[in-house]
Amino acid sequence: MVIKNGKLIGYNIHTIAGRGKDTFTYRHPFGSAIGISKESKADVVWTFTDSSEKNVYETQWSRAPVKDSLKELSSSYVKSLKYSSSPGPFNGNIKQKGFRNVFHKWKIQTAIGGGPVLLQNGEIKIANEEELKFTGKAIDDKHPRTAMGIQKMVT
């Protein structure tokens, strides 16, 4: 996923086909990205992009991939995902008290996708299981890696 001058120019791939007995199922992970706002503030998020839309939707929380029989996720489905700001199960009522949308439109100037996230807001947050970037123990293998980050400027 790439955003340049506030415009989405590269999309995430959100579908991984099942194998073996799961041939008719798909997993839809949400990829991470690091973005820089017009005010030069960094933001590490998990994103959803749809090639038919110009908007990027973000969430501050990593989440398990959606597993279903759909070949593609729609942006309307992703925008309907909820999280709880209070204890108790989600009963399916979108207006249920204490539940908020997970994904919001991301207003960012420049961004690039990658992953998995290793740190977020100065805390260790290894999101490989959610992003499905490396299978099995491959994340521990010795291969070339690239990392990005931003440090708070001291004035």
Written as six digits, the tokens of 60 are: 């501050």
Which helix (H) or strand (E) segment holds residue 104: the answer is: strand 104-105
Q: Is residue 116 over pLDDT 80?
A: yes
Residue 123 CB-half CA count within 13 A: 4
Q: What is the pLDDT of residues 145-155, one digit of tens each?
A: 777 777 766 66
| pLDDT tens-place string over residues 28-61 | 899 999 999 999 888 999 999 987 888 999 998 8
Least confident of 16-20, 92-96, 98-102, 112-116: 92-96
pTM value? 0.78
Q: How confident is the model at residue 98 (pLDDT cuts 50, 70, 90)?
A: low
67, 27 in Cβ contact below 8 A?
A: yes
- Average pLDDT over the chain, rounded to an integer: 81
Structure confidence by residue, pLDDT tens digits, 137-146: 777 787 777 7
Give the C-alpha separation, 45 to 36, whole Å. Answer: 11
CA distance 43 to 35: 5
More confident residue, 136 or 85: 136
